[in-house]
Structure 1
Amino acid sequence: MVISRHGKMEDMAPDHRHRPATQSDVAREVGVSRTLVSFAFRGAPGVSGQTRQAIFDAAKRLGYRPNAAAADLARKHRSAVGLHLMDIRNEVYADILSGVRMALPQDSNRLILSVSRSVDGVDQGALESLIEARVGIIIAATLLDSDEHVRELARIVPLVSVTRPVDGVDSVYSDDAAGARAATQHLLGLGHTRIAHLAGPLYDGHIVRRQSYEQTMRDAGLKPLTLAADDFTQDAAQRAATQLLLEADRPTAIFTHNDQFALGAREATYALGLSIPRDVSLVGYDNSRTARLHGIELTSVDLHAVELGQWAGAVALDRLNDPEVPIADKKLAPELVVRTSTAPPESAR
């Protein structure tokens, strides 16, 4: 109680300007116990609908927000989901993020995001930050570590590997062998024989597209032409594509590791005074939003990134709810989407 300037005794509400509101503050505001407030926010039984709403209304007035990490500790259960993305500049990872969000209930599982800071995608600090945040499971898209290291990580914190299968670890991925084969066969079917593959740096689990392209070329009686970029950036892809296109017997078609690489190859093509698809046919991988833009219209393999994210989120929830569920191995079938960046070579027209 305080005495007003008119000499009257008045109630004074707690001053929350200098500290965050607590469950005890909410309890005092409503006139219930702190335990009942805790039950209300946890969705536990024993709280009437009217009381629960009164608690939520008071919390909103006071600016109280439940501490999810503390609630996890109290329940001895980690509900937070960590999502590691290799490269936020690559649209495929934004699509995976969208899919994961669709799969996770909005009111029960926090999503903590971590993005690699390295141009080659290798950044142990990004993963360690999720472990330090005490997440219950990590969805990793994409890891470049060795299979054995991924398994070691999964022994520390349960892990879902996205875009890449790892034995002994929950995995959600697209059939890269089938996707690369479809892309190469499409170019062969148009009459191309000098087909190059612009690959990414060599890491465990990320050579299937390269291997499938090379085998498809050999099956057609042709010699593969593979060149790996220095890292996973568009600039690195442009440098590598320039090298390919300056060859005396330059390729008439290029199949790239992903759409970001295809954009780098596109820049290299036009910078050299060549055009697509008249001089060079171009196939990407991911079927990103950029691939669908007018003026680009890139032929690309759709790995169904949003669906990958949705499956990864569902697998993560299954693992959180029951640590003993069998290891998940979900493989999606990719689809080649043909657009105007590919055409028969000039010699076949």
Structure 2
Amino acid sequence: MEGMAPEQWHRPATQSDVAREVGVSRTLVSFAFRGAPGVSDETREAIFAAAQRLGYRPNAAAADLARKHRSAVGLYLMDIRNEVYADILSGVRTALPHDGNRLILSVSRSVDGVDRGALDSLIEARVGIIIAATLLDTDHQVQELARVVPLVSVTRPVDGVDSVYSDDVTGARAATEHLLGLGHRRIAHLAGPIYDGHTARRQSYEKTMLDAGFAPVTLSAEDFTQEAGQRAAWELLGLADRPTAIFTHNDQLALGAREAAYAMNLSIPQDLSLVGYDDSKTSRLHGIDLTSVDLQAFELGRRAGSVALERLANPDAPTADIRLTPRLVVRNSTAPPGTG
């Protein structure tokens, strides 16, 4: 490579290499990449051109250390296989400036418990803040984590911690009332495991059923996956007085219930109405047409990204509590009972 000695080819270019190439000090090169004053436009352009020729890439982590300021944003996702988290990721990316904060991603290896290693990897990367979607820790554990590194909790509110979430009480009530309005009375809820901050959908469904004068039937799946949904729905649909409708904690569980119903030769919605939660891309596919609650995943991510930037810029700002309103999207998976 022109401008570099053979013994330099095996290692990445450094600021010192760029400085030698241009004939300036390494400090001036550092100032140029940090956008600090004192570097003329002509010199800055020469430094950037030399860096491109040499293949130099600024070390953002080292720059943060030098400035005593952490600019990187860590994003923790509970389950990248669930489309809702991909939408949250897209929203976060939209909020972050293209030429500003680095985004470091860490994905949990478990959907049925707390993966502390995934969070620790972000702390070890010296991120300035963590956007966490979705934590299964207790509220106390989340609060303790927020004392180690600033945190934005996404999809669940936590007292004293920046939180961006959808109103699950409203969403679950809308789903249950939709089924009641169609004439269903034996409506079951396929819930996920019980964790702090993740019971509002279950509780809202049960309250709505009781207020309408009907007995709620709730079954918890082993985790939040399609496979767990299929196993749990098989149990529900095997009841002597089987439900005519099932409302699930998320779309993954609903898809599992759909598979269980077809395996038992039940038609949707003629024999069984299904309502999911998340309004994932899969739920909108022709042939699936799943009625689902849209929790605005992309907007959750975008707002969380904005909150994270504000927290980095103003560490003493009041705690953010942003609650979005979900909406029920009615498709072809629900109908009045006994329409077959």
TM-score range for the pair, normalised by the shorter chain length: over 0.9
The yes-or-no answer on 1:88 pairing with 2:80 is yes
Are the aligned partners of 1:137 and 1:159 in contact in 2 as well (CA < 8 Å)? Answer: yes
Mapping for residues 106-125 of structure 1, pairs under 5 Å: 106-125=98-117
Distance of aligned partners of 1:301 and 1:12 in 2 relative to their CA distance in 1, 3 Å threshold: closer
Question: Following TM superposition, by how much is the alpha carbon of 1:32 offset from its aligned partner in structure 2, in angstroms?
Answer: 1.8
Rg larger in 1 or in 2?
1
Mapping for residues 234-249 of structure 1, pairs under 5 Å: 234-249=226-241
**Corresponding residue for 1:174?**
166
Question: Following TM superposition, by how much is the alpha carbon of 1:47 offset from its aligned partner in structure 2, in angstroms?
Answer: 2.2
Question: Following TM superposition, by how much is the alpha carbon of 1:12 offset from its aligned partner in structure 2, in angstroms?
Answer: 6.7
- SS state of the match for residue 53, structure 1? helix
Are the aligned partners of 2:191 and 2:219 in contact in 1 as well (CA < 8 Å)? Answer: yes
In the alignment, the residues of structure 2 paired with residue 346 and residue 326 of structure 1 have an alpha-carbon distance, to the nearest angstrom, of 53
The yes-or-no answer on 1:307 pairing with 2:328 is no
The yes-or-no answer on 1:73 pairing with 2:78 is no
Question: Following TM superposition, by how much is the alpha carbon of 1:45 offset from its aligned partner in structure 2, in angstroms?
Answer: 2.1
**Corresponding residue for 1:201?**
193
Question: Following TM superposition, by how much is the alpha carbon of 1:158 offset from its aligned partner in structure 2, in angstroms?
Answer: 0.5
- 1:278 aligned to which of 270, 273, 280: 270
**Corresponding residue for 2:49?**
57
Distance of aligned partners of 1:12 and 1:236 in 2 relative to their CA distance in 1, 3 Å threshold: closer
TM-score normalised over the length of structure 1: 0.95
Question: Following TM superposition, by how much is the alpha carbon of 1:51 offset from its aligned partner in structure 2, in angstroms?
Answer: 2.2
**Corresponding residue for 1:3?**
none
- 1:322 aligned to which of 295, 314, 322: 314
Are the aligned partners of 1:87 and 1:121 in contact in 2 as well (CA < 8 Å)? Answer: no
**Corresponding residue for 1:132?**
124
**Corresponding residue for 1:266?**
258
Consecutive unaligned residues of structure 2, counting only runs of 5 or more, are: none
1:204-240 CA deviation, whole Å, 9 max, x = no partner? Answer: 0000000000000000000000000011221111000
Are the aligned partners of 1:81 and 1:111 in contact in 2 as well (CA < 8 Å)? Answer: yes
Are the aligned partners of 2:230 and 2:259 in contact in 1 as well (CA < 8 Å)? Answer: yes
Taking only the aligned residue pairs, the percentage that are identical comes to 79
The yes-or-no answer on 1:157 pairing with 2:149 is yes
Are the aligned partners of 1:86 and 1:121 in contact in 2 as well (CA < 8 Å)? Answer: no
- SS state of the match for residue 112, structure 1? strand
Deviates more, 1:106-115 or 1:219-228: 106-115
In the alignment, the residues of structure 2 paired with residue 179 and residue 142 of structure 1 have an alpha-carbon distance, to the nearest angstrom, of 18
Distance of aligned partners of 1:188 and 1:68 in 2 relative to their CA distance in 1, 3 Å threshold: same
Count of matched residue pairs = 338
- 1:250 aligned to which of 233, 242, 248: 242
Letter in 2 for 1:327: T
